[in-house]
Chains A and B, each alone.
Chain A
Amino acid sequence: DQQVKQNSPSLSVQEGRISILNCDYTNSMFDYFLWYKKYPAEGPTFLISISSIKDKNEDGRFTVFLNKSAKHLSLHIVPSQPGDSAVYFCAATVLTSGTYKYIFGTGTRLKVLA
């Protein structure tokens, strides 16, 4: 049962254009969402997060949008740079029986073309 889904396994974008990575979730009780970037042979690095009480959070070139009614999350990268080429994971968390579990999607591989 995949509660967090990233339906696009890969995405290619020209340098300077916008990259939009999408994430869907099924559990309406999720209350905090995060995006991580991962380079090969390295650990995931935190990028940006958003609480379920907000619909937008911005940090430099990165903006995360949350549409709770659609159970949809997206990460926008503007402008895209070659160094952004990596695998991006979205994650969601909820308090369940006193514990916090972070559920990750399967990732989207972004390639920014110079």
Chain B
Amino acid sequence: NAGVMQNPRHLVRRRGQEARLRCSPVKGHSHVYWYRQLPEEGLKFMVYLQKENIIDESGMPKERFSAEFPKEGPSILRIQQVVRGDSAAYFCASSPGQVGNTIYFGEGSWLTVV
């Protein structure tokens, strides 16, 4: 199964700690998207990355959140000094990058801040 792999699936952090979420795209896909789903809400775009570049981070909170997609290894979504409002499901998706191509999602990472 060469689908989008996300880990950890579940993460519990205390307020003020850091959360790191990882995403390995479909083999051969060079574009990664991160979305957040708050309880009872839809999928909100956060950031779009290509290898080593952030293409669009207009949906990312200005503080405490950062994302990277290095040349080697998975994409990382990092949340510093987590607060209770960061509790959500974080989904990563990948695509080859051409318009008209479907983006494929991972199973998600559920962050709970206590």
Residues on A facing B (Cβ under 8 Å): 6, 31-32, 34, 36, 41-46, 49, 51, 89, 93, 95, 98-107
Contact = CB atoms under 8 A, between A and B. Distances in A.
Given A43-B91, A44-B91, A102 B103 contact: yes
B33 interface: yes
Q: Chain B: interface secondary structure?
A: strand
Contacts of B65: none
Given A99-B48, A101-B56, A102-B33, A107 B42 contact: yes
A49 B104 CA distance: 13
A101 B91 contact: no
Contacts, number: 60
B105 interface: yes
Nearest to B104: A46
Given A45-B105, A100-B97, A104-B42, 9 more contacts: A34-B103, A36-B105, A43-B105, A43-B108, A44-B91, A44-B105, A51-B100, A99-B56, A104-B45
A89 B93 CA distance: 14
A44 B43 contact: yes
Contacts of B103: 34, 46, 102
B101 to A, nearest CB: 8
